[in-house]
Amino acid sequence: MSPRSSLRTHGYAPVHGVAPVRSGTAPANGITGSLAARDVTLAYDGRVVCDGLSVDIPDGEFTAIIGPNGCGKSTLLKSLARILTPTRGQVLLDDRPIRSYGSKQVARRVALLPQSPVAPDAIRVGDLVGRGRYPYHSLWRQWTPDDQDAIDTALALTGTAELSQRYVTELSGGQRRRVWVAMVLAQQAPTLLLDEPTTFLDIAHQYELLELCATLQRDGRTVVAVLHDLNQAARFAGHLVMMKEGRIVAEGPPGEILTAELVEDVFGLRCEIVPDPQSRTPMMVPLVRDFGHEQVAALEDASGALQALDEALHTDQSEPRSRQ
Amino acid sequence: MHTSGSRIVRVGTSLAVPVRRRALVQGLAVVAALVAVGIATLTLGGLGIAPERLPAALIDIPGGSEGFVLKRLRGPRFVVAVATGAALGISGALFQTVTRNPLGSPDVIGLTAGAGAGAAAASLLLPGAVSVPAGAMLGAAGATVVVFVSTGRGFSSPSRLIIAGIGVSAMAVAFTQYVVMLQSRDQAAVLHAYLTGSLSARSWQNAAVIGGALAVLLPAAIALGRRLHLIEMGDELADALGGKAEQTRVWSIVVAIALSAAAVSVAGPIAFVSLTAPQITKRLSRTPGANVVLSALTGAFILAAADLCAQQVPVVEDLPVGVLTAGIGGLYLGYLLVREWKKGTV
């Protein structure tokens, strides 16, 4: 994981306010990235989902896109992968409009795993992963010497090498999701866009997949994932993009931007932000509506105790984020 | 495409194509079966060329009755059967992949029913002015245009395509039945034979039409085949991999329609080949995706074998081959499906 701010900068008292809404076309907050959207309007059949949105995807970082259902997270991801053409504005890849690249050229730079890809029937894992090599092929060259290496690496990274001769349809949900990730890895694109990669996975497989994303980011890839779980996003991602109704409400490191006010503004959910006892990243604890004042007070006491405990731990532990 | 059971066929540095061993074996087996059907077509029956004289007859075409059988009677008929079957097989493979529906075929988008209605209209309304095959072509084109317009999105939305196709089919079938009722018994019988699809009395001219269509459209279908592999995984993923889903879909449908229209023009609306050939291919080769070449070979075999039976099995005199394709293809597909259900792989 990337170095992140220490616990003290993100106690449960809001340190920073809600980051200003980005507007205009200039890149804001000094983020540089090879992939960026500039003032894009995104629409399906005339129904506008995002209007005048700008975002920079930081290179080499794990970015999580978070927001309520229907706020335009997936739509933004599709436009970054050039699947959806903005009706206004530009998506830029290395400061050039992404439309000016060939479709295979883009596929060699940016890989997208959609929310629900369809596994063809009677396909083996190795063959499915091999389809990720399409951007490197032509009509006459349907095989390149690098193919086998790329496929083997992708299978090894996702721990699916021993499944390569199995049919995709006979795998469990967790295995299948890893195989799909292997397919986009075989594409060998430096930027990976994953649309809700943890949805429909049980809790252990969710963490397995997030750890895989973190590993990929450590290996130098840029990872962008649409996630639903705020705590998982805060724990694994170094950069958070919070969206609401087609706009970006806040973006930055989770420890700097994640506040109770922001969560209430974006999700309409009252909550406390406390440090995660293990990773020290911000952790959101929802306040259930029926809680009376006493319970809230008790919760505040408890979180005060937690912080004290955490500070004690912090002085002991030199490697706060290690999981073992 | 690379890790299981495939070899890379390389020519120089610019050509490298992975070929599956199983697919290669299957392809060669179907070719051998086709050759056997061809020999049987030319040698069986009272007019058949004696088997020992066949090689010499093929090299140096004799005169007399043998020459007549080879040049006029059975030679063109067999060639038309092979090429038409291949065209229908490819057309079905493209349709089924593009619509992600195992029942996808030119029948589903109303093309076959439109051809029937066109043929019926030609024989009833304008007898003599328009030939029945030309009427069928016009009918097929008309039905395709109506479907294209009524989806509102052209060919890019498979579900709308199927619904519009079913509607157009129903109307075309109703019209055809109305025409058949109006006609005298003899005329109705002739029309009915055409509507079932027949290969009797085909000429080299017919063979040139379907062969020419195949020569142009088979390479196009092969070129689209790889992108169709990507469409199978969903349009978004296909686009993300650089496979241009929508463009691929529209072109595949155009190629499929052109192939089945060419098939209709030479053999009438033959049912079931485009539906069963890709399914049989898929089940035998156990590979995903549109297997364009294998589907073409399987389609060719089904139609040639059905036509051989139509000529040689003395159940009904001059049985239209369309009746038998449904029988042969349908039975075999049924057998494969039952076997899969028993194994629990469906």
Chain A residues close to B288, C-beta within 8 Å:
120-123, 127
Per-position DSSP letters for A265-311, written without gaps between them: HHH---EEEEE-TTT-SEEEEE--TT--HHHHHHHHHHHHHHHHHHH
Chain B residues close to A118, C-beta within 8 Å:
100, 232-234, 237
The interface predicted TM-score of the complex, written ipTM, equals 0.79
Confidence of residue B3 (pLDDT cuts 50, 70, 90): very low
Burial of residue A44, with CB atoms counted within 10 A of its CB: 0-12 exposed, 13-18 middle, 19 or more buried: exposed
B8 touches chain A (CB under 8 A): yes
Of A269, A211, A290, A202, the closest CA to residue A1 belongs to: A211
Chain B residues close to A81, C-beta within 8 Å:
239-240
Domain ranges of chain B: 6-343
CB interface of A with B, residues 166-195, below 8 Å: 187
Q: Which residue has the tokens 């495939």?
A: B6
Of B39, B33, B41, the closest CA to residue B312 belongs to: B41
A118 touches chain B (CB under 8 A): yes
Mean pLDDT value across residues B232-245:
91
Decide which of B66 and B253 is more confident.
B253
Question: Distances in Å between the alpha carbon of B86 and those of A164, B26, B300?
Answer: 34, 15, 5
pLDDT digits (tens, 9 = 90+) for B214-233: 999 999 999 998 899 898 89
Question: Distances in Å between the alpha carbon of B131 and those of B124, B128, B134, B196?
Answer: 11, 6, 5, 17
Q: Which CATH architecture has domain B6-343?
A: Orthogonal Bundle (1.10)
Mean pLDDT value across residues B269-275:
83
Question: Distances in Å between the alpha carbon of A23 and those of A31, A47, A253, B204?
Answer: 15, 21, 20, 70
Confidence of residue B16 (pLDDT cuts 50, 70, 90): confident
Q: For the stretch B170-186, what's the b/e string if a residue is b when 16 or more beta carbons lie within 10 angstroms of its beta carbon?
A: ebbbebbeebbeebeee
Distance CA A82, CA A86 (A): 9
3-state SS assignment for residue A184:
helix
Q: Which of A86-95, B32-41, B178-187 has the lowest mean pLDDT?
A: B178-187
Tell me whether residues A122 and B287 touch, CB distance under 8 A.
yes
> What local confidence, expressed as pLDDT, does residue A212 receive?
94
Size of interface A-B (CB pairs under 8 A): 112
- Could you give all domains of chain A from N- to C-terminal order, each with its CATH number? 1-15+260-324 (no CATH), 19-258 (3.40.50.300)
Tens digits of pLDDT across chain A (324 residues): 444 433 333 333 333 333 433 333 444 455 667 899 999 999 998 899 999 999 999 999 999 999 999 899 999 999 999 999 999 999 999 999 999 999 999 999 999 999 989 888 788 999 999 999 999 998 888 888 889 999 999 999 999 999 999 999 899 988 999 999 999 999 999 999 999 999 888 899 999 999 999 999 999 999 999 999 999 999 999 999 999 999 999 999 999 999 999 999 999 999 999 999 998 899 999 987 665 566 666 667 777 777 777 777 766 554 444 444
Of the candidates A105, A114, A124, the beta carbon closest to that of B4 is on A124
